[in-house]
Amino acid sequence: MNVSQVPLIDLSKASDPLIEFWKDEFRQIRRDFHRYPELGLDTPRTSQKIEDYLYSYGVDEIHTGIGGHGVVAVINGKTNSGKAVGIRADIDALPMIELSDHDHASCLEGKMHGCGHDGHAATLLAVAKYLAKTRNFNGKAVLIFQPGEEGYSGAKVMIDDGLFERFPVDEVYAYHNSSQLRAGQIALNYGSMQAAADAFTLTITGSGGHGSRPESTHDPIVASAYIITALQTIVSRNVSPLDSAVVSIGSIHSGNPLAQSVIPGSCQIVGTCRTFLPQTRDLVEKRLKEIAETVAISFGCTATLDYDRKYPPVINTPHLAQAMADIAANLVGEENVLRDYPRSTGGEDFAFMLEKIPGVYIRVGQGGAPAHNGFYDFNDEIIPLAATLLAKTLEKRLEELAK
């Protein structure tokens, strides 16, 4: 069931009057992005448009080509404390088919802004226009337009290309729209928001042989069965009951279905791990390796673990999350700010930025169809509110950082 898109409150009153005044302009910008979705790290049109808009707003610096098509805008405040705050928007779309037939539906078959990154990009442009016009802050604004969130680690790609060396920031912020919240609701927590999402492959090797003479083999299938059972104890016996983790096996493969009397020489087990704390992530990887290796040895087999750390967990900096929640409450009222929002086992590459820089990942409700669904569409009504939240956070935090 879709959450109502009807706002809980008068969003125009919650937003900054200047940004609210530009609402139609940014609705049009968002819908243009929506018509021409681009995937992964390959966002030339979107990045060019962003550059053109930024130029028209009179920001101080525009830097393109960071990690491919990443764009950074720098805006200087009226005074310069030497401090800087970053705000990041993801800008990429998804390889999926849009099912709605609204006027701004995707013009490109098989590509769709199904996660609202068109809206995030438009929101950060609204922030850029507002900050360039008002300059009511002490220090520097660094606005980061990042491709490749949907599975391409675009944040890491920009960081590896020197993002934070070239544009050092003291804090960094990002928002994601949420269909699970009504328009006007804002949600976060003071710790982990999203899980680390990792993948692993275990290869169990034995000396296979004739199924009629098992005593002359070391059977990797039997060893794998015990390993899979023993792996269940990572979550039940190793991870604290007060923490949580997921170890799921998605594939097991060995042998040939036509070879019923052949004990194969190896077995491959593939799975995913989700954790919320760096130490739990380390623990889960360590126990996977220990259990697989030692159980394999007990059957005369060997195990090798290939553990791929994909996205780290998204962890908010507690005092900054509280500060941002207070700013949100000033805009929409305390009753519309969920300060203890449940964490999600999904992944998000803003985590790479929060690994390096203190900051906050926050959700702004929009109602409507769920993200990654063919009927999803970003709700333009929340652009002024989200832009106001980000801009006010930047102003307020730079004021605090200058003290």
Backbone angles phi, psi at 4, to 5 degrees: -60, 135
Residue 272 C-beta: closest distance to Zn ion, Å? 17
| CA-closest candidate to residue 141, choices 153, 132, 150, 152 | 132
What is the distance between the alpha carbons of residues 208 and 221, in angstroms, rounded to a whole number? 10
Tell me the residue nearest to Zn ion as measured from the CB. Answer: 115
Tell me, yes or no, if 101 is annotated catalytic. no
Residue 117 C-beta: closest distance to Zn ion, Å? 6
DSSP string, 151-191: TS-HHHHHHHTTHHHHS--SEEEEEEEETTS-TT-EE--SS
Residue of 38, 118, 149, 198 marked catalytic: 149
Q: In what order do the strands lie in the sheet with 359-365?
A: 61-66, 70-76, 138-146, 79-90, 171-178, 359-365, 186-187, 337-338
Distances (CA, A) of 374 to 32, 95, 176, 301, 370: 18, 11, 18, 47, 9
Residue 343 C-beta: closest distance to Zn ion, Å? 16
Residue 213 C-beta: closest distance to Zn ion, Å? 53
Tell me, yes or no, if 52 is annotated catalytic. no
State which amino acid sits at residue 109.
Answer: E
Residue closer to Zn ion, measured from CB, 34 or 287:
34
Structural tokens at position 351: 């985590």
Residue of 92, 118, 171, 377 marked catalytic: 92
| CA-closest candidate to residue 116, choices 77, 89, 83, 142 | 89
Residue closer to Zn ion, measured from CB, 71 or 89:
89
| CA-closest candidate to residue 198, choices 60, 8, 351 | 351
Residue closer to Zn ion, measured from CB, 115 or 354:
115
Residue closer to Zn ion, measured from CB, 190 or 376:
376
The strand pairing partners of 337, in sequence order, are 186
Residue 199 C-beta: closest distance to Zn ion, Å? 18
What is the distance between the alpha carbons of residues 323 and 328, in angstroms, rounded to a whole number? 9
The contacts of residue 29 (CB under 8 Å, 6+ apart) are: 49, 53, 122, 125
Residue 116 C-beta: closest distance to Zn ion, Å? 6
Binding residues for Zn ion, per CB under 5 A?
Answer: 115
* Letter string b/e over residues 279-312, b meaning 16 or more CB atoms within 10 A of that residue's CB: ebbebbbebbbebbbebbeebebbbebebeebbb
What is the distance between the alpha carbons of residues 360 and 317, in angstroms, rounded to a whole number? 6
Residue 344 C-beta: closest distance to Zn ion, Å? 12
Residue closer to Zn ion, measured from CB, 314 or 332:
314
Residue closer to Zn ion, measured from CB, 16 or 348:
348
CA 287 to chain centre: 26
Residue closer to Zn ion, measured from CB, 292 or 315:
315
The residues annotated with a catalytic role in the active site are: 92, 149
